[in-house]
Amino acid sequence: MAEGHVIVIGGAEDKVRERLILSRFVALAGGPDARIAVISSASSLGPLAGEMYRRVFTELGA
């Protein structure tokens, strides 16, 4: 079985300025080759949260 990282993010992390947590997330996930799953079931934004993270991760090079 492949090993990897699981990072749980509560949603209040910086998505606009330095994005330190999300940048580290992308690095741990493999950078440009990253395979990232966003499960936004606990978010009040629902599917919009998933789309927002998709945009941010793309901007960060994933």
Per-residue pLDDT at 1 exceeds 80: no
Give the pLDDT score at 3: 80
Report helix angle 47-59 to 20-29, nearest 10: 80
Sequence-distant (≥ 6) Cβ neighbours of residue 62 within 8 angstroms: 26, 29, 31, 32, 34, 36
Q: What is the pLDDT of residues 5-60, one digit of tens each?
A: 888 888 788 999 999 999 999 999 999 998 888 888 888 888 898 899 999 999 99
Number of H helices, E strands in the chain: 2, 0
Measured distance CA(43)–CA(30) in Å, rounded: 25
Give the pLDDT score at 56: 95
Give the pLDDT score at 30: 92
Measured distance CA(59)–CA(32) in Å, rounded: 11
Domain boundaries, the chain: 22-59
SS3 6: coil
Give the pLDDT score at 4: 79
